[in-house]
């Protein structure tokens, strides 16, 4: 039995609070059960040096975890003087996922940076980050349209992500921490709202996984992402 009687293909209760902070062009607190991530999208009318003069925009992301987002305190990355490998891996994934749904040419020479800071971590922080960042980014673009700085929102659709995994031989959707720790296989899937894939990252933590298991996990992800997209749409409709 999963915690809180969740079904194997059921995502945790998801909540997206827009305008969570006052200054960012897009600000969303995303909650997947006890996992809480603040996603702030910042607009800069400027692009990285290597893009200057090409008439294209850029979308990037940074990820961080408050030292006590977790059960025991982690060392603050600013204090240790560098971002760890896990942090870098995650923020590169978030940024790629966001860029996959944006028409960079249509942005003009503007840069959007989405900061995903984990307030509380109970599994699935990277996929929650992507799902929330998509909404924060949409808000930021909407603001640019409202200000007349963009003619239309350059997003081609929403991007959502979910983690799925195999625990004791059973495929599960949207793992929480206790499940994640026990998983043999852990997979993060990032999809567009049309159900096409942007990223698929499956890792055998224990036993290698078979083709059949991969198929089961993909099906669970597809179901979960459909539910997340509903929440994203509802949040933006408010």
For the chain, give the longest Cα–Cα distance: 57
Minimum Å distance from CB 181 to a copy of itself? 15
Nearer to a copy of itself, 52 or 68 (CB): 68
Minimum Å distance from CB 145 to a copy of itself? 20
Q: What is the DSSP letter of 13?
A: P
Nearer to a copy of itself, 151 or 195 (CB): 195
Nearer to a copy of itself, 207 or 230 (CB): 207
Please indicate if the annotation marks 68 as binding a ligand.
no
Pairing of strands 111-120, 58-65: parallel
Minimum Å distance from CB 96 to a copy of itself? 6
CA angle 235, 236, 237 (to 5 degrees): 90
Nearer to a copy of itself, 34 or 181 (CB): 34
179-188 CB burial, b ≥16 within 10 A, e <16 = bbeebbbbbb
Minimum Å distance from CB 85 to a copy of itself? 4
Minimum Å distance from CB 87 to a copy of itself? 7
Q: What is the DSSP letter of 102?
A: B
> What is the C-alpha separation between 140 and 61, in angstroms, rounded?
14
Coil, strand, or helix at residue 188? strand
Please indicate if the annotation marks 81 as binding a ligand.
no
Nearer to a copy of itself, 105 or 151 (CB): 105
Q: Which residues are near a copy of itself by CB under 8 A?
A: 21-24, 27, 34, 36, 38, 40, 42, 44, 62, 64, 66-73, 76-79, 81-89, 91-92, 96, 100, 113, 115, 117, 119-120, 187, 191-192, 194, 196-204, 207-211, 214, 218
Coil, strand, or helix at residue 41? strand
Ranges assigned E (strand) in 66-207: 111-120, 159-167, 170-173, 185-192, 197-204
Annotated binding site for phosphate: 86, 124-126
């Amino acid at each position: 039995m999963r915690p809180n009687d969740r079904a194997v293909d059921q995502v945790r209760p998801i909540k997206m609070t827009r305008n969570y902070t006052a200054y960012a062009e897009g600000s969303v607190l995303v909650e997947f059960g006890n996992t809480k991530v603040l996603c702030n999208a910042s607009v800069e009318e400027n692009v990285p040096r290597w893009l200057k003069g090409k008439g294209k925009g850029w979308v990037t992301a940074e990820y961080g975890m408050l030292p006590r987002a977790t059960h025991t305190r982690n060392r603050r990355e600013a204090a240790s003087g560098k971002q760890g490998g896990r942090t870098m891996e995650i923020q590169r994934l978030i940024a790629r996922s966001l860029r996959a749904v944006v028409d960079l040419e249509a942005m003009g020479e503007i840069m959007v940076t989405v900061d995903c800071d984990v307030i509380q971590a109970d599994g699935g922080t990277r996929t929650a980050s992507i799902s929330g960042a998509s909404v924060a980014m949409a808000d930021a673009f909407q603001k640019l349209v409202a200000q007349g700085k963009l003619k239309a929102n350059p997003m081609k659709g929403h991007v959502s992500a979910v983690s799925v995994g195999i625990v004791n031989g059973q495929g599960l959707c949207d793992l929480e921490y206790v499940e994640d720790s026990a998983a043999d296989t852990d997979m993060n899937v990032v999809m567009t709202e049309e159900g096409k894939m942007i990223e698929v990252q499956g890792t055998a933590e224990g036993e290698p996984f078979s083709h059949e298991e991969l198929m089961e996990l993909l099906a669970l992800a597809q179901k979960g992402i459909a539910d997340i997209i509903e929440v994203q749409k509802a949040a933006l409709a408010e």
